[in-house]
Every structure is written in structure tokens, then in C-alpha cells.
Chain A
Amino acid sequence: MTIGYLLMAIAFVLIGSLIGSALSMLPGLHVYNVIGFFLLFYFTASFVLDPMFMVLMLIGMLVSYAFVFTIPSIYFSAPDDSTMFVLMPSLRYLKEGRGHEAVVLIATGALTGLFAIVLFVPLFMGPLSIVWDIVSTHLHWIIGAVIAYMLLSEFPKDFGRHKNPLHGLKEGWKTIMAGYLTFFLSSILGLITFNKTIVPANHAFQSLMAPLIGLFATSSIILNLISKYEIPEQNIPKSIDSTPQEILHGAVAGSSGGLFAAFLPAVTAGVGGYMASHAFAQKGDKSFLVSMGASRVVYYVGAIALFFLPVLHLRRGALAMGINLFFTPESVQQFYLVDMGIAIAGIFAFFVVIYASKFLAKRIYKINPKALNLIVLGIVVALVYFMTSWQGLIIMSVATAIGLIPVLFNSRRSHCLAVILVPIWLNMSGIALGGFFGLW
């Protein structure tokens, strides 16, 4: 390797980070949707570009997405499957004029997650491979256990005084039943999407985009449209309301959850972080926001680091799968190069998040929230139409309806994740329900 090669590598990481940061500002657009197009472009231009540079550019895009998607999630209320958990606390922060502080907390968490990856993954090379060897044959029941945990961890909430005990019982169970209905309908939607989507074949690689946007983004935007709220003037603080202990607590919990999600198929950063927050007995929004930031970065970026980790080469996440189409990690040198790229993109993306948040925080209160939500909805619908054609819009509408159930009945939105969890769990367990529904 020459100095020139190293400089070119850094340049491609920065190009990727720049593209990733710009695209991540768009609500509803997932980096994996864009990476698909970049891969198609690369397959036609592979003879001019060193595959390692392409890999580093894609990694730059992924890392910046993991950081920068916080912005549309918080300011435009358009989360994805892993930022949906931060929606409620961050909206609270936004309504208190502390939107930027929420962003800084999440970005700090993301930074700690990045440290966890670049610092600890190389150190735990051997143990991680042993853990994977043990876990890999038990994935189906572990995912089953995650599903069971998600369903069983919801219990009847106390709704205060009731007309009579029967009314109390009904109110308590209404939430749970709405949650289970969400879970059931999301599972069916997932099974259809995975087995026989109506999205045209030339867009089929984006088939998950429409249900995920419908379940998480559009349902949140519609909720914002129907509810009355004002975004007050946002304060740009010089310090954040948190202690180093709280940050560390959130970082450890989030990184553990993210690693759990990075290891297991179908389990996303949100679920991983959420389970870890239970496991680490987290209290309060501050630590939770930090842990969600960490979990998201460890989930997305950790998956790609584990792919390049010598001895392990774990293929988890769409980027690792996509890269694997044209590239096989071959040396420790490449692993170091990837770690270097992750760190560079991380620094870049961290400051992009901070400055983009400052920029938006100073202006967001001037915009009518309804107008903002309508614009975001327009962007999201246009993206879904562009990526998945009109059939995608139909799926998105169905998914939005399902996504609204937890919103309207005050149950957990995490049940919507059944759209991914159930089909993959059934697939890994060897249960062919697709045929049962006549989808083959």
C-alpha cells in the first residue's frame, strides 16, 4: 500500500460521507435504497474503480446515515425502524425548545457507539468469532424469544379511575389488544412483502421500503398533521443536561443492544437498544436518547465492521450483502482501512449533525408545523413512488393504516417491527407460511 492509495481511500470515504449526509437529510429515504443504485452503477464501472474505494465510499455513506438521519427523525418527525423509539422523547424536547439538545444527546451516543466499534471490535476479534460460532445455530429460537419478549413485555397499564372494574379491565386490555393486532397485521404484511410483493420486479430490491416508511414515517407525519402542536423557538445550548455517568450508562446499554442487533438477523437497532435499555434498567430520556444513538451506530456500522473482521466475516445488513456481491474481504489490512474509514466518516458525520441541527433549530420554529409535515409527506410519497412505483404507494397506504393503530390506541409502535421479524423468524425456523397463504 502506498501513501497515494491511503489518501485516495480517505478521499472516497469523505465523498461517501458527503453524499450520505446530504441524502440522509431527506425524510423517508433510507441509505440502503440509495446504495442499491450505487451498486448498479458500480457493476457497470467496476473496471475503472478499485473495489476497495467503492467499499469505502459506501461505508462513508452508511456511517453518515447512521448519524445524520437523526435530523429528519427529530425535526421532521419522520423516523425509520430504528429511530422510532426516540420520536416521543425527542418530540418532548422539541416542544420544550430543546430540539438541538436532543440531537446532541443522540449524536453523543452515536459517537460513543463509534468508539465502541473502532476501539473494541478489533480487540474482541477472537471472542466474537467464538460467540458467533455458538449463536449461529440457535438464531431461529433467539429471534423467536425476541418476538416473545416484545409481546409479553407489554402489560395492562393503569388508566386511573374507571366507572366500574369492567371498564377498567377493558381500557387496560384495549391497548394490549391494539398492540397485538398491530403485530398480527404487520406480520401478514411482512409475509406478503417477503413472499410475493406487488412491487414491479425491476423495483423489487426496494420492496421493504414502502412498508417501513408506511409503518413508521407516514403514520408519524399523519399523527402530527391531525394533532395540534406548535414548535417553539429552539435554544442552542453550550452544555447538555446530562452527567458523564448518564452518558456512559446510555453508551454501554446502547452499544450492547446495537451489537445484539448487529449479530442477529431481523433484530434492528431499535429493538436491540430497547431491550438493552430494559436490561440496563435505564431511567429518564437523557440516557435513553444516548443509548438509542449508540445502538443505531453499532447496529449499522458494527455490522459492516464485523463483515471485515478477519476470521468472522459476518454478512449482516444490506450493505454487507451488497458489498459481498463484488468484494470479498481478504486481509487484515482491509479491516484496518475500513476501521480508519469508519472513524473518518464518524467525525465528519458528527459535526454535520451538530451544525445541521444548529441551522435547523434556528429556523424550524418559523415554519408552520402543518406546512412542514405536508412538505415532508410530499417528499416521502414522491420517494416511494420513484423507488417502488404506484404499487409501492398502495403498500405504503396499507402500512400507514397499520402504523396508525399503535398511534391511535397508545400501544407500542415496536409491534410494527413484526413486518421484518416474523417472516425472517419463520424462514429461519423452516416454517413455510407463505405457501399456506397461497403466496407461491
Chain B
Amino acid sequence: MKCPSCGREIPDDSEICPYCTASIKHRVKIRTIYVIAISLVILVASYGVLAYYGGEVPITKIKDLGLTDNYNFIRLHGKVDGYPWVYENDYQVTSFRFKLNDGTGSVTIKVYGDVIKRMVEEHKIPAMGDTVDIKGTYMYSSNSLILNNIDYIEIEKPEHKGVKIDDIFNAAPWEYKNGDKVFVNGNITSVREFSFGFICTIDEKFDVLIPRAYYSLHILNISEMGSAYLQFYGALEFYQPVAPSDTYKVVNLPDLLSNTENYNGSYVRITWAKVTDRNILNNTITVYSNGSYIPVYVRNGVKYYAPGDYVEIQGRFINYKGNWEISVSHTNDFVTEPRWELIEDPTYKVLDKKEYVPNGPMKEFSLVEIKGTIVDYRIFSYSVSLTIWANNQSYMVYVENKAMVKNMDYGNSVVIKGIVTLYNGQPEIKVRPFTNDVVEVEV
């Protein structure tokens, strides 16, 4: 017989080829290997079916992201933390960003170029408190995720709950939660510009923050918003003007006053108290919290804290001339007025469109247009106060941004377009920047 391996003639009873040492008995047929190879077709078909029906990229936890995920395409699921921001070049938005938090950590989401364009066109715009499911390329060094395609983001917007301004104005920190989605109705009575956006005061009480991202992308039109009675949609955020320090112990006022010796000389923080009395001569206010009162000495003065205001205090608990008080005198001490504000969503509803009424009645929150003569003016750091004479009466005008006024002089004719608000009970016309309000001085 022939050796099945080398093909040489070998004795019939050989078990091993004497030439090539190949086994004659223990062999695997090549046909069997062919069958195994062809069986791969089953896997081909299986993967074809799986590819056809697709599958979702598994969600990655932010805490698990590391160097090995650099440049990887990953999927995250979390909530938008804070409000979005943009980078601009020559008044063109080059990058739109927001923070995503999944409870284990946060990542900055970056959107560029055409993706921003499509995001605006399709109105797939993330806002604070929205739940987002996003896929993109992860960049380890900047801990960011680049959204390559607008189809890779799904935004779930929670339902907004209607609240009244009076309910939120002076509401305690525990009455709402950061990120609670609400809507309020009102008129924009003041507009102040900051690098991060615009703080608009609604009905002279409540602040709404319009992120610059929405303004720069022409999603929120402040001039249209300024000429209407609106429904504002957004997320609540408790704004603390100064970040509290960890070294100050948060205390309950009754507890503090019942353990005076224990707390003597220690640094304390009272998160929420109402000003009940003010003594400008000795720089002291009295505050009320949880049924107890305490005097607070403020070295820098108390002119900004009127009775009825709610304040947060960080200072030292001391005994001054036999009386226990909180002394606000060191670098990290403060008395501030924290409050709830609304971070505007990229949407609003016009409830009533308003027009500027020439010589219109001085009714609160109405838009008026007055043509008159400047009889007095005062220039402040940022604003201008004018008194004009028209229609046989004088009008008080407050221009929020002094850059809006040119060629101001006594006796010049002026056309004012603004909103009527009350200042110390008296009506005045407020001229707001970024709206259709104007001050046109004729030389």
C-alpha cells in the first residue's frame, strides 16, 4: 500500500510510515475539515441576521471611563447638569457644550459644526434637568464626549409643573429641588448681560437665566421675549451668591442659642433666615430662623438687607458685651441673599403679544412710547436715569445699559420705548437692553 501522507510504497501491515513516520491509522479526513469550514456559514448567517436587526451599544458608567476608552465610541445615559455654554469666534458659534451626569460622575459633551446646525434645525437641544441618552467619541484627556451625529442623542424632557412667581420668590431651599422642571408666567422687566448669558427679571421679582448658548444660536429671541407676556419653561436652581465654606458648621438657630457655651467662638453657618430688623447705625440686622432670633453684626454695612429679606449667614458666634451674636467680619464671612432662579429651557410660549403704545397709560408692565425733552439725567456705573418732559408731565426713565444712550444733553428731544415698572410705588419707564426698547436722542 501507499503511505497516505508521503505517497511512498510501504508494507500493507504498517502502522507508521517508515519513510515519513506518519501514522497510518490515526488520521483526520480532509473532507471532515471541509465540513467544519463550511459550517462557518451558520455563523455567517447568524451574524448577518444580528447585523440586519441591529443592537444597541451598551451603556457605560462615567466612573468606569478610563485611559483605555480614549477615542472609543461609547454610550452614556444621564441628566444634563447645569446649563449649556458655547464658544464663539467672530460671532459664530464654534462649539456647543454641556455637562452630563449619570450619578457616578460627569462628562462634558461637545458638539461642533454641522451637528450644531442640525441640532438647532431639529430642535434637539439639551437643557438643564433633561435626561439624555448619547453616543459619541470619548476623549480621555479632557474627559469629554464628542457628539458626531445628532441622531446619536435622544433627549427626554420631563414634564414642566406650573408655579406662580409668588410661590418661588423667597421660597426656602428645601421647598424645591435643583433641576425641578417648572413654568412661570410673567413679563421681562430687566435684562442684564453676563458672559454666561442674560439674567432677566420677571415682574420685578424673579430671575430667569437665559444661557448665552441659546441666545447665540438664535433659539431664544430676547427682543421677541421682551415684547410679550410669556410662559417661561425651565429648571429651578438655588443660587447662592457666595459658595459656602466647609470649615463653617451648619447650625440650627435654636440649637445654637441653647448651647451657647459649646459654640462660643466657633464658625457657624445659618442657611436660611429672615431679616426682621435693621439698625444702620451699628451695622446690625436681626434675623429669625426656626422660631428664634439673633442679632448679626456685619462689618461692611447692612444697607442691602431690608426687613423681609431672606438671607444666608456665615460668621463667628460670639458674645459681645453680654449678648450672643453672629459677627460677620472675616474674609470668608458673609451675609447673602440666596434665591431660586429659573434656568430657561430652549423654549417659551407667547401668551400675549404686546405693542409699544405711543403716549400710552403708565400701567405696570405695559409697553409705552414717549416722545419728550430731557430735563434731567444722572449717569451711574452701568445705567442712566433720565427725567423727560412730555404730554405736560414728567416721566422717570431708567436705562439699564448706559451704552444705549447717545448725545444725551439737557433740552434734547428724545424718543423712549420701554416697559412701565413701579419704583418705590411710582411708575417709571424701564429701557431694557437686547429688547426692542430704545432711547433715541435727537440733537
Residues of A in contact with B (beta carbons under 8 Å apart): 1, 3, 6, 9, 96-98, 101, 104, 107-108, 111, 114-115, 118-119, 129, 132-133, 136-137, 233, 235, 237-244, 247, 310-315, 324, 328-334, 336-337, 339-340, 343-344, 346-347, 350-351, 354
B254 contacts A by Cβ under 8 Å: no
Are the CB atoms of B48 and A6 closer together than 8 Å? Answer: yes
Q: State the CA gap A108–B5 with chains docked (Å).
A: 16
Are the CB atoms of B22 and A98 closer together than 8 Å? Answer: yes
B1 contacts A by Cβ under 8 Å: no
Q: Out of A235, A328, A334, A339, name the residue touching B5 (CB < 8 Å).
A: A235
Are the CB atoms of A118 and B71 closer together than 8 Å? Answer: no
Q: State the CA gap A238–B29 with chains docked (Å).
A: 6
Q: State the CA gap A41–B6 with chains docked (Å).
A: 46
List the B side residues contacting A114 at CB < 8 Å. 40
List the A side residues contacting B41 at CB < 8 Å. 343, 347
List the B side residues contacting A111 at CB < 8 Å. 33, 36-37, 40
B92 contacts A by Cβ under 8 Å: no
A107 nearest CB neighbor, chain B only: B33
Chain B 1-18: CB-based contact to A (< 8 A → 1; otherwise 0): 001111110000000000
Q: State the CA gap A352–B233 with chains docked (Å).
A: 66
CB distance from B28 to the nearest CB of A (A): 5
Q: State the CA gap A147–B322 with chains docked (Å).
A: 80
B135 contacts A by Cβ under 8 Å: yes
Q: State the CA gap A324–B70 with chains docked (Å).
A: 12
B443 contacts A by Cβ under 8 Å: no
Q: A111-B37, A239-B28 are in contact. Are A330 and B4 (CB under 8 A)?
A: no
Q: State the CA gap A97–B103 with chains docked (Å).
A: 67
Q: State the CA gap A350–B33 with chains docked (Å).
A: 10
Are the CB atoms of A237 and B4 closer together than 8 Å? Answer: yes
B176 contacts A by Cβ under 8 Å: no
Are the CB atoms of B6 and A97 closer together than 8 Å? Answer: yes
What are 30 A-to-B residue pairs whose CB atoms are below 8 Å?
A97-B8, A97-B20, A104-B30, A111-B36, A111-B37, A237-B5, A237-B7, A237-B30, A238-B4, A239-B4, A239-B30, A240-B27, A240-B33, A241-B5, A241-B26, A241-B27, A242-B28, A243-B26, A244-B28, A313-B69, A330-B73, A330-B135, A331-B57, A332-B55, A332-B57, A332-B58, A336-B48, A336-B50, A339-B43, A339-B47
Are the CB atoms of B6 and A132 closer together than 8 Å? Answer: no
Q: A336-B51, A340-B51 are in contact. Are A96 and B20 (CB under 8 A)?
A: yes
Q: State the CA gap A97–B6 with chains docked (Å).
A: 5
Interface range for B? 35 or more
Q: State the CA gap A179–B38 with chains docked (Å).
A: 43
Q: Is the interface of B mostly helix, strand, loop or mixed?
A: mixed
List the A side residues contacting B68 at CB < 8 Å. 129, 132-133, 136, 312, 314
Q: Out of A6, A238, A354, name the residue touching B51 (CB < 8 Å).
A: A6
Q: State the CA gap A97–B5 with chains docked (Å).
A: 8
List the A side residues contacting B48 at CB < 8 Å. 6, 336, 340
Are the CB atoms of B51 and A333 closer together than 8 Å? Answer: yes
Q: State the CA gap A107–B36 with chains docked (Å).
A: 12
List the A side residues contacting B291 at CB < 8 Å. none
Are the CB atoms of B33 and A108 closer together than 8 Å? Answer: yes
Interface residues of B in 61-86 (CB under 8 A from A): 66-69, 71-74
Are the CB atoms of B28 and A96 closer together than 8 Å? Answer: no
Report which residue of A107, A311, A339, A354 has the largest number of chain B beta carbons within 10 angstroms of its beta carbon.
A311
Q: Out of B30, B37, B58, B72, name the residue touching A238 (CB < 8 Å).
A: B30
Are the CB atoms of B4 and A119 closer together than 8 Å? Answer: no
Are the CB atoms of A6 and B52 closer together than 8 Å? Answer: yes
List the A side residues contacting B37 at CB < 8 Å. 111, 346-347, 350-351
List the A side residues contacting B90 at CB < 8 Å. none
List the B side residues contacting A330 at CB < 8 Å. 57, 73, 135, 148, 152
B44 contacts A by Cβ under 8 Å: yes
* Sample of 14 more A-B contacts, CB < 8 Å, known A339-B47, A343-B43: A1-B51, A9-B51, A98-B20, A119-B43, A238-B30, A239-B27, A239-B30, A313-B73, A331-B56, A332-B58, A336-B50, A340-B43, A340-B47, A343-B40
CB distance from A234 to the nearest CB of B (A): 8
Q: State the CA gap A154–B342 with chains docked (Å).
A: 74
B54 contacts A by Cβ under 8 Å: yes
B378 contacts A by Cβ under 8 Å: no
List the A side residues contacting B23 at CB < 8 Å. 241
